[in-house]
Amino acid sequence: MNNKYLYEDLLRMSGVNPKKCMRCGKCSATCPAYDEMEYHPHQFVSMVENGDIEPLLNSDSLYKCLTCFACVDRCPRGVEPAKLVEAVRLAAVRKQGANHLKADSVPDMLDDETPQQLIVSAFRKYSK
């Protein structure tokens, strides 16, 4: 595993133990953003476990997770895949200049009804 440091950091941040996964795929069965994702929740778990983290860091899938916690609640093994996705996303956006959402692009995304909550949440998720 050439990503040992990152691997351990992800586990520490997320509190997830990917070894508990029994490969049932219920997380991906329940995921509302599945079709938009290149890598699906169960792949996040197995790829992190195998140290295959680089493709995840560069994938748009990081920004498709809705953090709806459906996979967290429905996982029979208590793996909590969403927390792992979040940790990988933070590992990506915490880097200098790696913000996924730039303030300049926001005004075009708004309409008259956009609630403040939407903007705040998107920034929390996509930028550091």
Partner 1 sequence: MQRIGVFVCWCGSNIAGTVDVQAVSDALKNEPGVVFSTNYQYMCSQAGQDMIINAVKEHNLTGIVVCSCSPRMHEATFRRTAQAAGLNPYMVEIANIREQCSWVHKDIPTGTEKAIILGKAAVAKVNLNTPLTPGESPVTKRALVIGGGIAGIQTALDIADAGFPVDIVEKKPTIGGKMAQLDKTFPTLDCAACILTPKMVDVAQNDKIRIFSYSEVTDVKGFVGNFDVTIKKNARYVKEDICTGCGACVEKCPMKKVPNEFNLGMDNRSAIYIPFAQAVPKVATIDPNACNMLKNGKCGLCARVCAAGAIDYTQKDEYIEEKYGAIVVATGFNPISMDKFDEFAYNQSKDVITSLEFERLTNAAGPTAGKLLRPSDGKHPHTIVFVQCVGSRCDACAEKGKEYCSKICCMYTAKHAMLTRDKYPDTDVYVFYIDVRTPGKNFDEFYRRAVEEYGVHYVKGMVGKVVPEGDKLKVQASDLLENKQLHIDADLVVLAAAIEPDKSARPLATMLTASMDTNDFFTEAHPKLRPVESPTAGVFLSGACQGPKDIPETVSQAGAAASKVIGLLAKDKLTGNPCIAHSNELMCNGCSSCERVCPYGAITYEDKEFRMPDRTTLVRRIAVVNPAVCQGCGACTVACPSGAMDLHGFASGQIMAEVDAICK
Partner 2 sequence: MKVAYFPGCTLKNKAKELDDYARKSAEALGVTLEEIEEWQCCGGVFTTARDEVATKLSSVRALVAAKNKEQPLVTVCSACHNVIKQTNHAMQTDKEFADKVNRYMGEEPYSGETQVYHYLELLRDVVGFDAVKEKVVNKLAGKKIAAYYGCLLLRPNSVMKMDDPENPSIMEDFIRAIGADAIVYANRNECCGGYIAMESPDLAKKKSNAVIENAKAAGAEMIITACPLCKYNLIKNGADIPVVYFTELLAEALGVKEDTNE
Residues that bind partner 1 (CB under 8 A): 20, 22-31, 34-35, 40, 42-43, 70, 74-79
# chain residues binding partner 2, by CB under 8 A: 39
Question: Smallest distance from the beta carbon of 99 to partner 1, in angstroms?
Answer: 30
Measure the CA–CA gap between 49 and 99, rounded to whole angstroms.
Answer: 26
Q: Choose among partner 2, partner 1, none what residue 34 binds, the Cβ cut-off being 5 to 8 Å by kind.
A: partner 1
Residue (of 75, 5, 69) closest to 45 by Cα position: 75
Q: Is 119 in the site for partner 2 (CB under 8 A)?
A: yes
Q: Is 57 in the site for partner 2 (CB under 8 A)?
A: no
Residue (of 123, 125, 86) closest to 104 by Cα position: 123
Q: Which residues of 57-91 are buried (b: 16+ CB within 10 A; e: fewer)?
A: bebebbbbbebeebbbeebeeebbbbbbbbbbbbb
Question: Smallest distance from the beta carbon of 77 to partner 1, in angstroms?
Answer: 4
Q: Is 90 in the site for partner 2 (CB under 8 A)?
A: yes
The total of other beta-carbon atoms located within 10 Å of residue 37's CB is 20
Binding site for partner 2 (CB under 8 A): 12-15, 32-33, 36, 63-64, 66-70, 72-73, 80, 82-83, 86-87, 90, 101, 106, 109, 111, 113-122, 124-126
